[in-house]
Chains A and B, each alone.
Chain A
């Protein structure tokens, strides 16, 4: 065993009480880091999952319609021309050449899945009851790769034919319908079709569950008077937090409007970033507290062991070796504290997962301690231990052996 390690372990064992306290303090710090990171990570994942469970990462649609003035009066001296261009109401329009655009987008390495959607307003009519709805004509096979509505079905299945429809659970409750019942859908343009309810889904968003009506793409095109066309292409991207940049690139490339989930959920994103920043701040303070704890214990140890350091120097220990003895103590305290901390953090996270449950007994949100988080926590504790030991180690190595031996 290297002599510095041998002496460091002996010194740690000698100061058992102080070592135990520091290990406990580091353990508490590391457990806070582990638990807090897992908690905030789980909370963020849950929020993103809930938000993106109902929407695509990027939506590509045609440019807005703008009026094109027929006459642009040439300004002449002494004449002031006032003009006002009124924004027209937007109608459901198709993306020109959407198949080609969809193929191009699908070939993008950043894109995981792309699906065509035709969407427009309408009414769901059942007897005398009528509800305002959003009609979505989808290709179920590719749509579920973008929005995981298939995993959120509470009854039945997604529509397989032009006569089938899947509706949100709130809408089903409002209209008093269930799978197998008939439902008339009337588009804003006036077309009406009778559908059989094939499935009921719950996406967790009250507004969506009360308004969404999913039909097949062809049925949607017919209902919304957009035969052969689609109103948007919806995408799932590989890098969730790069969606903004991917969307901007698509706008530049296609000339269409590409909007990312980040633009549509700017407030959520700000909240997530604020959460991340507060978590980081807490971690910084924890690391600071741990550093001060280890440093103070080792500084006291150097003062207490002045004479022993002098003796070691007299017997041939180099300055570097003396410094190594204290650095190793710092590292060992950090390492042992991190093991205690990770175990405690995982324990608290497990306890939280078991106790913080909804009425159905399901965890409120996923909270998992990833192996990478454990590695980061251990690395932080080890690094903190070494940095904390640096000052005491330098002080110890600089002690004059003749003076240190005389120290009473």
Chain B
């Protein structure tokens, strides 16, 4: 598919997606999910524990495959892609922010941010460091670029993780409770940071959250209960 085609297609499109685990008995975790996320959308995914949010996020992040149904990323039917193509699409199109930041402790802050670019190119380049430093500047951490991430506070580590997720400017960013492990003030700052990047670069954001307050500040709230989408509304 051409670049123009990818720009016109929805970032994510799910039709009748089912995800089951186990064989005997079979447990259906996601049941006929239909969902469409457009470029530039800022959506929240909410639901009680065990509703299937993490499983859905894994499918959307191409970390797992649906048992049935159609999942398209940037218009590409992922069922037709092999493992290598899935990996390549994931690296190019999707950024991840996890609850526990998941930075690599062996690397400095700037090296962590460089990772998506380095992995896409297969080698380190001076320009990757420049781009990563720019990413750290965007999240206010340029001064601590060469420090080991273990020496940063929880909020700072999450900022590094956001810079890492955004450095390749992926069209879609999936955030799994990005503020769940932070105090209220830092959580608020991180959320505003994500919103700012969403507005500036027209990236689509899907944020899994347990906080009704944060969800209400999103453009769209998708509610998942028992593996089904039971609500899809726009708060404002």
Interface residues of A (CB under 8 A from B): 1-3, 6-7, 10-11, 13-14, 307-308, 311-319, 321, 400-402, 405-406
Rounded to whole angstroms, the CA-CA distance of A401 and B91 in the bound complex is 13
Q: Could you say which residues of chain A place their CB within 8 Å of the CB of B1?
A: none
What is the distance, in angstroms, from B125's C-beta to the closest C-beta of chain A?
A: 9
What is the distance, in angstroms, from A14's C-beta to the closest C-beta of chain B?
A: 4
Q: Which of A11, A14, A311, A316 contacts B102 (CB 8 A)?
A: A311
What is the distance, in angstroms, from B96's C-beta to the closest C-beta of chain A?
A: 5
Q: Could you say which residues of chain A place their CB within 8 Å of the CB of B120?
A: 316
Q: Binary interface profile of B, 118-131, with partner A (CB < 8 Å = 1, else 0)?
A: 11111110000000
What is the distance, in angstroms, from A91's C-beta to the closest C-beta of chain B?
A: 83
Q: Which of B81-89, B138-146, B216-224 lies on the face that meets chain A?
A: B81-89
Does B92 contact A316, Cβ atoms closer than 8 Å? Answer: yes
Top 6 A-B residue pairs of the complex, sorted by shortest distance between their CB atoms: A316-B91, A14-B106, A402-B63, A10-B106, A402-B58, A316-B119
What is the distance, in angstroms, from B35's C-beta to the closest C-beta of chain A?
A: 19
Does A3 contact B61, Cβ atoms closer than 8 Å? Answer: no
Interface residues of B (CB under 8 A from A): 54, 58, 61, 63-64, 83-84, 87-88, 90-92, 96, 98, 102, 104-107, 111, 115-116, 118-124, 164
Q: Which of B54, B63, B92 contacts A314 (CB 8 A)?
A: B63
Does B83 contact A319, Cβ atoms closer than 8 Å? Answer: yes
Most chain B beta-carbon contacts within 10 A, residue among A1, A2, A314, A406: A314
- Known interface pairs A3-B123, A312-B119; A401-B63 also in contact (CB < 8 Å): yes
Does B90 contact A316, Cβ atoms closer than 8 Å? Answer: yes
Q: Could you say which residues of chain A place their CB within 8 Å of the CB of B105?
A: 14
Return the chain B residue nearest A13 by Cβ: B106
Return the chain A residue nearest B90 by Cβ: A316
Rounded to whole angstroms, the CA-CA distance of A313 and B62 in the bound complex is 11
Does A405 contact B98, Cβ atoms closer than 8 Å? Answer: yes
Does B63 contact A308, Cβ atoms closer than 8 Å? Answer: no
- Known interface pairs A11-B106, A308-B104; A314-B124 also in contact (CB < 8 Å): no
Q: Could you say which residues of chain B place their CB within 8 Å of the CB of A315?
A: 90-91, 96, 115-116, 119, 164
